[in-house]
Structure 1
Amino acid sequence: MTRPSPRRRLPALAATLLLAVATYLVAAAPPAAAAEVLLSQGKPATASSTENAAFPATAAVDGNAGTRWSSAFSDPQWIQVDLGVAATLTRVVLTWETAYARAFTVQTSTNASTWATAYSTTTGTGGTQNLTVTGTARYVRVNTTQRATQWGVSLWEFQVYGDTGTSNPPTNGQLSYAKPGTASTSQNDGACWECTPDKAFDNDPATRWATSATTGWVDPGWISVDLGATANITQVVLQWDPAYATAYQIQVSANASTWTTIYSTTTGRGFKETINASGTGRYVRMYGTARSGPYGYSLYEFRIYGTGGAPVAPPAMPPDPVFPATNLVWSDEFNGAAGSKPDGTKWTIDPGTGQNNELQYYTNNNNANMDGAGSLVIEARREAAGGREYTSHRMNTGTKFTVQYGRIEARIRVPKGNGLWPAFWMMGADFLTGRPWPYNGEIDIMEVLGRNTLEGYSTLHAPQYNGGGGYGQRYAAPGGADFSGGFHVWSAEWDSRGIRFRVDGVEVFYASKETVESTRGPWVFDHPFYLILNLAVGGDFPGPVDGTTPFPARMLVDYVRVYK
């Protein structure tokens, strides 16, 4: 029997911050560009005015949904961001505060002087607007001409997406995979288990090298790789841990003794850095001279691209599906007779207690039955078991079926009631072989809180973004529906570029791999996952049950399907 999932959830503060995020309504679906990256976060921003010092232009590009730019109370107004380099633009996402613009344009420029209009409206509705734009530009501006309120205009977030041409490394020519590494020091203890140099060259974004906590939190610090033979280096990709270098050099050597610098910076920003640099050598080294904080240096990935060397081909990845995927590869339609149990050839029952201070005990099938009308019923009851006051059910496909990439969907009707927490989600299959959460990765396709069934959540969890800091989106039910009022289809379209989450066919959140790597941390979702259904009771995220919570409470699942 699989271990209960260590699913961590949002504490109250993080939930409050998420509630500041406006409803994600899709005005124009983003293109599935392979290299689409969030370009604007942390970049210089200016504005025509600010309401006061608490609402600067930079607050709209800081990635914090709880801070905002707000203008003076007059028309017109503008806010612009300097992307730093010319980029091929794909979309702009505007998350308005209540003080939104009814009429505005999105403008682009190569010089911050001559502007072209990429989008225009006189009927803006506020909320979150996801706008398709095209063209090449370094500067992007939102120019408002009519306010919708007596106040100014205000944006929680002003996000510009596109491709700078250097965001994606080549798909072949990787020279560093499985090559021996050495470092100034390395760590291997309870705080960072097996954080040795080889982990930066294993193509596993959940493992990392780190300098020793005992002797290595000093400058300089370095890690090098032996490519096995002389190579012509064209590109280096660094995926940093939060312990990154603000100043470092990329160096090459023929003998690991005399080094030549081919790239140098004093403005390292961490996260994912893609460096186009040319050099020749058998050895390549990252030589850090200034750390971002009190800790040492740490890299999840240190990849070298070019020609020559003695490359070892990384394991082949499965091909990306073509969406909409239509080849059904696995399903459960739950068409059994009334009272029959989940199919044991497809599902493993997961009894035991939950996490996150949940109140239920998951029983071995007692709380899951077919209703005879084509649905599985997962039922939460007020009854004692396993030292808990409530029972419910959790089941997974872990030892029966796993999937990497495709469209994963379920048609579900959720219950309403304080403290109820239905979910349809996936866990990285390596959790079953000992990799701890969140290093295995978690993909929450659907979570709904019974206290507010007008909204849902889709979230990713990984080493650098998990629990209350998970990367995700709160969204309203399409068309203003109540999720508890009927069945709805939640789906995830997942490939090597990211995951698109949809409800009833409407996109509610897109997690771009490039954006996540460039702004949050490593992407740990390119490997097999298994499926999970459960109904939790109480806990940190949904809050407590009370006298109004209906028991028994029922989560109905019409089907679960996986398409390639």
Structure 2
Amino acid sequence: MKKMLLGCAFVVATTVSMRADAALDLAKYEIAFDEQFDSLSVSPWGPGTRWIAHTPWNGDFGDAKFVNPREGFPFTTKDGILRIEARRNESGKWESGLLASVDRAGNGFSQKYGYFEVRAKFPAGKGLWPAFWLIGIDRSTHTSEIDVVEHYGHAPERYTASVHVWDRKEPKKSSTVHKRVSVKAGSLYEDFHTYGVLIDEQWTRFFFDRQEVWRNPTPEQHRQPMYVLVNLGLGAGWPLDEAPHSAEMLVDYVRVWRAKP
């Protein structure tokens, strides 16, 4: 995520346009994980639930605390749609929600390679920071991260996709590459869109509405099972003085495909 970029050895930021000639083909893949949010299986830390409500390493980020789920907040489901709500609490502090597909012991869903996708509608507002991202199970020497989508509310005409390798022993050796993907201004708030990443041994390919928008060579550290996170963050280094009093990120589904045998 953006706050971790400090101290990285290699950063690339480029604006790219959608490529209409690179549609996604899933003919050789099958569903491995299908969360349609007809209900929500979540607990603060597990075990025994499909999701936990924190990063497995217990690391908050941004300017909103990711809280334990309680009745009506920060998660609700209705008609197959998950609502992740961010709002200020009675003391004026921001609270919001995050879902991760493995617990602290690594129990849950993770997968090496394949296609990972979310269908979501983002809230409008400066300071808001919705995201769908992946983390590698093995964090012994490096943290492997793929940000399929991060949207910063001050820039309604784009979102960011990133590939990170965080060196846990020598942070200065960390590397990150990211692309700013152009969209019609405000379109991410007007309707649902799909954001996906197809990972194999050689390439990590990013898709918007099933059209390829960027590809990057798959780092060696990313050749491992990765788990899913989805959240509504705030801040990311951007001011919150114009943020709305409350906001909802809507998620239709999270799905993962694996290669057919």
TM-score (norm 2): 0.80
Structure 1 outlier segments of 4+, above 6 Å:
464-468
**Structure 1 stretch 531-540 or stretch 402-411: which is displaced more?**
531-540
Work out whether residues 38 and 81 of structure 2, in 8 Å CA contact, stay in contact via their aligned partners in 1.
yes
Compared with structure 1, are the counterparts of its residues 378 and 23 closer, same or farther at alpha carbon in structure 2 (3 Å cutoff)? same
User: Are 2:232 and 1:538 equivalent residues in the alignment?
Assistant: no
Residue aligned with 1:449, SS? coil
How many pairs were matched up?
A: 240
User: Are 2:242 and 1:553 equivalent residues in the alignment?
Assistant: no
Find the counterpart in structure 2 of residue 25 from structure 1.
18
In the aligned structure 2, how far is the partner of 1:376 from the partner of 1:392? 13
Work out whether residues 120 and 193 of structure 2, in 8 Å CA contact, stay in contact via their aligned partners in 1.
yes
How far does the alpha carbon of each residue in 1:18-48 deviate from its partner, in whole angstroms, 9 at most, with x for none?
A: 3xx3333326449xxxxxxxxxxxxxxxxxx
Residue aligned with 1:527, SS? coil
User: Are 2:34 and 1:331 equivalent residues in the alignment?
Assistant: yes
1:404 shift after superposition: 0.6
1:375 pairs, out of 73, 81, 86, with 81
Work out whether residues 37 and 80 of structure 2, in 8 Å CA contact, stay in contact via their aligned partners in 1.
yes
2:176 pairs, out of 455, 470, 489, with 470
How far does the alpha carbon of each residue in 1:447-480 deviate from its partner, in whole angstroms, 9 at most, with x for none?
A: 1011123211110111479999521211112x66
2:224 pairs, out of 513, 519, 527, with 527
Compared with structure 1, are the counterparts of its residues 341 and 330 closer, same or farther at alpha carbon in structure 2 (3 Å cutoff)? closer
Work out whether residues 335 and 370 of structure 1, in 8 Å CA contact, stay in contact via their aligned partners in 2.
no
How far does the alpha carbon of each residue in 1:179-212 deviate from its partner, in whole angstroms, 9 at most, with x for none?
A: xxxxxxxxxxxxxxxxxxxxxxxxxxxxxxxxxx
In the aligned structure 1, how far is the partner of 2:33 from the partner of 2:12? 37
In the aligned structure 2, how far is the partner of 1:558 from the partner of 1:549? 24
Find the counterpart in structure 1 of residue 96 from structure 2.
392
Letter in 2 for 1:404: K
Find the counterpart in structure 1 of residue 67 from structure 2.
363
1:451 pairs, out of 154, 161, 173, with 154
Compared with structure 1, are the counterparts of its residues 466 and 403 closer, same or farther at alpha carbon in structure 2 (3 Å cutoff)? farther
1:562 pairs, out of 253, 256, 260, with 256
CA RMSD of aligned residues (A): 3.2
1:481 shift after superposition: 5.8
Unaligned 5+ residue runs, structure 1?
1-5, 31-321, 514-521
Residue aligned with 1:483, SS? helix
Work out whether residues 8 and 466 of structure 1, in 8 Å CA contact, stay in contact via their aligned partners in 2.
no
Q: Percent identity?
A: 28
In the aligned structure 1, how far is the partner of 2:200 from the partner of 2:227? 15
Unaligned 5+ residue runs, structure 2?
none
1:423 shift after superposition: 0.6
Compared with structure 1, are the counterparts of its residues 468 and 485 closer, same or farther at alpha carbon in structure 2 (3 Å cutoff)? farther
How far does the alpha carbon of each residue in 1:266-324 deviate from its partner, in whole angstroms, 9 at most, with x for none?
A: xxxxxxxxxxxxxxxxxxxxxxxxxxxxxxxxxxxxxxxxxxxxxxxxxxxxxxxx844
Q: Which has the larger radius of gyration?
A: 1
Letter in 2 for 1:506: Q
1:354 shift after superposition: 2.1
Residue aligned with 2:255, SS? strand
Work out whether residues 491 and 502 of structure 1, in 8 Å CA contact, stay in contact via their aligned partners in 2.
yes
Residue aligned with 1:470, SS? strand
Compared with structure 1, are the counterparts of its residues 445 and 17 closer, same or farther at alpha carbon in structure 2 (3 Å cutoff)? closer
How far does the alpha carbon of each residue in 1:375-427 deviate from its partner, in whole angstroms, 9 at most, with x for none?
A: 11111111157xx8110111201221111111110101111111111110011
Equivalence map 1:178-217=2 (5 Å): none
Residue aligned with 1:524, SS? helix
Work out whether residues 232 and 249 of structure 2, in 8 Å CA contact, stay in contact via their aligned partners in 1.
yes
1:535 shift after superposition: 1.1
In the aligned structure 1, how far is the partner of 2:138 from the partner of 2:248? 31
Letter in 1 for 2:19: V
Work out whether residues 341 and 370 of structure 1, in 8 Å CA contact, stay in contact via their aligned partners in 2.
no
